[in-house]
Amino acid sequence: MRFGARWCRQRRMEAASEPVPAIRIRDLVKRYAPTGKAQKQGGGKLALDGVSFDVPQGQIFGLLGPNGAGKSTLINTLAGLVMKTSGTVEIWGHDIDRDVRNAKASIGIVPQEIVFDPFFTPAEVLENQAGLYGVPKAMRRTMELLRAVHLADKADAYARSLSGGMKRRLLIAKAMVHQPPVLVLDEPTAGVDVELRRQLWELVGELNRDGVTVVLTTHYLEEAEELCDRIAIINHGRLIANKPTRELVDMAREKIVVLTLDRDVDVAPQHPVFLKSVISGERQIEIGYDKDRMNAGEVMSLVQGQGYAIVDVSTREADLEDVFVTLTSQPREDG
Ligand SMILES: Nc1ncnc2c1ncn2[C@@H]1O[C@H](COP(=O)(O)OP(=O)(O)OP(=O)(O)O)[C@@H](O)[C@H]1O
């Protein structure tokens, strides 16, 4: 099955003479209108504080950040659901203020929440959406899309009878009815079990191979590491990283030693040469160290020197999660 490869290829060729990014964001600021106490103080939450980045065409682009970082605000700005305070946003070369129609036609958004009228069938859900986007009947691809998301056999079932995973797949099909070249998924696998997560990853991969540029937000670093070509991290409304996934992972020069102690401890042992030292489980601590400067044996000696008895040990390379924790742990004073 294809998600509109022909169309996307054509659009890519059109863009080839002028290689515009799939999404271009410059100095994006969003300050929510103040309420309550903040109103009296003339404040209001600064959710996006001058964010600038490009999403290159054809990529799977991950947008990461802790809770409240500003990811949903950014996506809702792209979707036209949040009015930005200032800055510019272009989707497939179309400015979201000056060229609303083309900007909207160029993007499909899969929301975090599952929202359907339970009495419509998947086929009707897609037909209604196509109607909303003004897709002429002859150009609608309802069955093709349902096949793409492996729901062809459920075309005429009530949406309420679908499992959670099926509903998520239907949401993806719904976002694709107008064949946008850019698809944005807001936490597509939040609260989804491992098997289903795999299925959704495969679907995202198929879409991308068909030429669709995919942007996804996620809390799962494993997901970003596995799926994304490039990752941007926002924290406190600011962009703190924007790199190819490989480079971001390589930033983790540290190695982690996991030690099991003979008893529970209230505080993890500290030493100036440890990059981090945290309690990670029952009787377990994790210590990060610079692998170019020392080895696990030296770390263990330092821990034992502080009176701890080690009963088990393992080491691992730092992963994206470690980079993420390091990058997002710097506090922000204002906002
Ligand atoms: N409608 C609103 N009015 C006022 N403040 C808001 C509004 N929506 C979001 N915020 C605030 O803006 C900041 C960014 O929120 P946003 O939902 O964009 O973060 P997020 O990164 O998507 O978080 P999560 O991962 O929890 O969804 C938060 O401090 C949030 O409380």
pLDDT tens digits, residue range 262-310?
Answer: 999 999 999 999 988 999 999 999 998 888 889 999 999 999 999 999 9
Q: Are 74 and 63 in contact (CB under 8 A)?
A: yes
pLDDT digits 0-9 by tens, 131-165 = 999 999 988 999 999 998 889 999 999 877 888 88
Measuring from atom 23 of ligand 1, which residue has the nearest CA?
68
Interface predicted TM-score of the whole assembly (ipTM), two decimals: 0.96
User: Which atom of ligand 1 is the closest one to the Cα of 70?
Assistant: 18
Is the four-CA dihedral 218, 224, 228, 231 of positive or negative sign?
A: positive
Report the C-alpha dihedral over residues 160, 130, 184, 186, rounded to 10 degrees: -20
Report the pLDDT value the prediction gives residue 13, as an integer from 0 to 100: 46
The sign of the CA dihedral 257, 227, 244, 106 is negative
If 0-12 CB within 10 Å is exposed, 13-18 middle and 19+ buried, where does residue 37 land? Answer: exposed
Give residue 309's pLDDT.
94
Compute the distance between CA of residue 56 and CA of residue 228 in angstroms, rounded to an integer. Answer: 12
Q: Tell me the pTM.
A: 0.78
Closest CA to 255 of 305, 309, 322: 322
Residue 257, burial from CB neighbour count under 10 angstroms (0-12, 13-18, 19+) = buried
Residue 326: is its pLDDT beyond 80? no
Please report which confidence band the pLDDT of residue 122 belongs to, taking 50, 70 and 90 as the band edges: very high
Task: Tell me, in angstroms, the distance from the centre of ligand 1 to residue 70's CA.
Answer: 6
Nearest CA to ligand 1 atom 18: 70
Eight-class DSSP state of 211: T
Q: What would the mean pLDDT of 252-269 be, rounded to a whole number? A: 88
pLDDT above 70 coverage of the chain, percent: 90
Instruction: Give the distance (Å) from ligand 1 centre to CA of residue 304.
Output: 45
69 lines ligand 1 (CB under 6 A): yes
Q: Which residues make Cβ contacts (< 8 Å) with residue 296, sequence separation at least 6?
A: 255, 257, 289, 313, 315
Give me the domains of the chain, ranges plus CATH numbers.
5-249 (3.40.50.300), 253-318 (3.30.70)
Residue nearest to atom 8 of ligand 1 (CA): 73
CA of 95 to the centre of ligand 1 (A): 24
68 lines ligand 1 (CB under 6 A): yes
pLDDT of residue 211: 92
**Sorting pLDDT into bands at 50, 70 and 90, what band is 42?**
low
What digits encode the pLDDT tens for the residues 236-251? Answer: 899 989 999 988 877 7
Closest listed residue to residue 88, CA positions, set 121, 51, 120, 35: 51
